[in-house]
Structure 1
Amino acid sequence: MSSVFIGELLALSMMAFALGMDAFSVGLGMGMVRLRKREIFHIGFVIGLFHVIMPLAGMAAGQLLSGFLGMLAVYIGGSLLFILGAQMIFAAFKQSEEPFISPAGAGLLIFAVGVSLDSFSVGLGLGMYGSKPLLAVALFGAFSTVLTWAGLLIGSKVQSWLGSYSEALGGTILIGFGLKLLLPL
């Protein structure tokens, strides 16, 4: 292997880890809703898949609209996570056995899109710099899948310790992450 390839692999791996930490944070919040192991596997897989699809879409968009679409994607993602977090907090105090948002079906798609919109922006940048797209998206998908699973599993442990307050904590994490995207410092 050439040193150029190793350097690019290392840079893309660090970028994939950074994007995957977003998925970890959201997974931590989502894990505080009672989930089965099969659901955890499915959620991680879908979020990982979106971390492949979104950068590919960003690369395809290329230079044409990179600045505008990049910021728009970040704001949409932040808004979605903020709204989902607020709904989780509302559901925690509603004293209902059924979660307000289910991380399945349409709810899972909303979560996956919300957490992977920042990878669309990264894809725009990678498309402009001529990076190896297949290597990049494979790393993005793998890192985000594994980190989502880790967040979900840790969140489920916290859920068992905190009981009914765990969903409110999960919602707070999602709101915090949404605000981080909406109000970059």
Structure 2
Amino acid sequence: MEDFAASLGQWITILIMAVALGMDAFSLGVGIGLKGVRRLDILKLSSVIAIFHVLMPLGGMVTGHYVSDLLGGVATSAGGALLLLLGGHMVYSSLRGEAVQSINHRTLWGLLLFALSVSVDSFSVGVSLGMFASHVMETVLTFGFFGGAMSVLGLMLGRRISGRLGGYGEALGGAILFAFGLLFLI
């Protein structure tokens, strides 16, 4: 009975972490969705985010027993800096109009940059989990599922709202990304 309670407690903890990490993907998905996305882009973005939500904590778990405290803070700061740059560029691009090219989430570079900025905190969580997680594969697959599913929800919501906001959608999306970047750095 004790083993069952311990296993159930570990799974509840993993689910809570997966939802928390997925909330970043959801919130930032809303920001990108406000810029305007096609259904195919939603599928691509959410698939890459799900893959990153598997690979980043897995990489963190592998290195977790080596450098937990130092690397966790660096990963979160790097993610915050990426979001600040992405969000600031989106706001600047929307205010300057056609004079500035925004980061295109449809390109490989834009797709990878967005997925990395959303998933970098998964790496630091993986570093912490690397010290005690016994169900590594189940854990990272759960993270990937929630990261992908919640990014789909965020992108769809942002897409729906963007039609009502007109040209201000990209600026609002950039402001959301910028705000999350600040939160990561604070």
TM-score (norm 1): 0.94
Aligned to 1:158: 161
User: What corresponds to 1:23 in structure 2?
Assistant: 25
Contact persistence 2:52–2:115 (CA under 8 A): yes
Match of 2:171 among 163, 168, 171: 168
Of 65, 68, 71, which aligns to 2:67?
65
Within the alignment, does 1:48 sit opposite 2:50 as a pair?
yes
TM-score of the pair, normalised by structure 2: 0.94
Distance 1:37 1:55 in 2: 27
Q: Is the 8 A contact 1:88 1:99 kept in 2?
A: no
Q: Deviations over 1:48-97 (max 9, x none)?
A: 11010000000111221111111110000000001000010011112229
- Are the equivalent residues in 1 in contact too, given 2:94–2:167 (CA < 8 A)? yes
The worse-fitting range, judged by mean Cα deviation, of 125-134 and 38-47 is: 125-134
Residue in structure 2 matching 1:108, options 101, 107, 111? 111
The reply to whether residue 78 of structure 1 matches residue 94 of structure 2 is no
Give the drift of 1:10: 1.6
The structure that is helix-richer by fraction is: 2
Range with greater deviation from structure 2 (63-72 or 165-174): 63-72
Length, aligned pairs only: 183
Percent identity of paired positions between Structure 1 and Structure 2? 42
Aligned partner of 1:11 among 13, 28, 35:
13
Computed over aligned residues only, the root mean square deviation of the Cα atoms, in angstroms, reads 1.6
Deviations 1:33-62 (A, max 9, x none): 221101101101101110100000001112
